[in-house]
């Protein structure tokens, strides 16, 4: 009669568990984890591009609301004031964005000053761009229904220009990890200048 099988000893169980852990660890040895520098750069890209996307959506939403109001009213005499009021709102929003830059806390310490300076300069240029177009609207006396698409199209083109000057030129950054992080971050599409 064969001898009864004995349950494995506690030591044998622990040894087997340790071997399993080592096997799993060895399997992942080829995958390199991000360094602290790379992780900080990735977090920075996510923060900056997330902020830029919020800014873009907020400005576009404001101008869309103005455009919808003008086309809904079809009031040639009232349209200029509606457009001017809409532009005043755009400028106020852009000024708020500019204030947010000074409070921006970025993990990538080495590149923070460069990025913040880019955003600050871009925000100032965006405000100037919007203010210049707003000044041109002072002489607008009426917007006929047939002219709505041209006038509103000009406003949207101006907004696109204002948004483009805010986009940082990340290809010029000295930090390789930061450049790579911005290139790899999906939310950065259409809100940065890659070169």
Side-chain half-sphere exposure of 121, counting CA atoms within 13 A:
10
Three-state DSSP class for 169? strand
Of 8 and 137, the one with more pLDDT = 137
- pLDDT for 82-97, tens place per residue? 999 999 999 999 999 9
As a residue count, the chain comes to 195
Asked if pLDDT for residue 187 goes beyond 80, the answer is yes
- C-beta separation of 142 from 80 below 8 A: yes
Residue 168 has a pLDDT of 93
- Runs of H (alpha helix) within 74-147: 79-102, 109-136
Q: Of 30-44, 71-85, 180-194, which gets the smallest average pLDDT?
A: 30-44
Q: How far apart are CA 62 and CA 22, in angstroms?
A: 57
Each domain of the chain, given as residue ranges in start order, spans 54-188
Q: Does domain 54-188 have CATH number 1.20.120?
A: yes
What is this structure's pTM? 0.80
Query: What angle, 0 to 180 degrees and rounded to 10, lies between the N-to-C axes of helices 176-184 and 109-136?
Result: 60
Q: How far apart are CA 160 and CA 64, in angstroms?
A: 13
Q: How distant, in Å, are the alpha carbons of 13, 23, 26, 83, 120 from that of 90?
A: 68, 59, 56, 10, 17
């Amino acid at each position: 009669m064969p001898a009864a099988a004995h349950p494995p000893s506690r030591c044998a169980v622990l040894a087997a568990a340790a071997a399993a852990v080592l096997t799993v660890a060895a399997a992942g040895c080829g995958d390199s984890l991000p360094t602290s520098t790379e992780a900080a750069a990735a977090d920075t890209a996510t923060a900056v591009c997330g902020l830029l996307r919020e800014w873009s959506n907020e400005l576009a939403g404001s101008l869309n609301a103005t455009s919808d109001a003008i086309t809904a009213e079809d009031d040639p005499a009232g349209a200029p004031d509606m457009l001017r009021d809409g532009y005043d709102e755009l400028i106020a929003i852009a000024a708020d964005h500019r204030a947010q830059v000074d409070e921006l806390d970025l993990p990538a310490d080495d590149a923070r000053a460069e990025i913040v300076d880019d955003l600050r300069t871009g925000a100032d240029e965006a405000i100037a761009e919007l203010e210049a177009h707003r000044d041109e609207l002072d002489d607008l006396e009426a917007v006929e229904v047939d002219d709505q698409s041209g006038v509103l199209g000009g406003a949207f083109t101006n907004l696109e220009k204002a948004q483009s000057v805010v986009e940082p030129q990340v290809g010029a950054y000295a930090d390789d990890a930061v450049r790579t992080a911005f290139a790899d971050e999906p939310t950065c599409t259409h809100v940065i200048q890659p070169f």
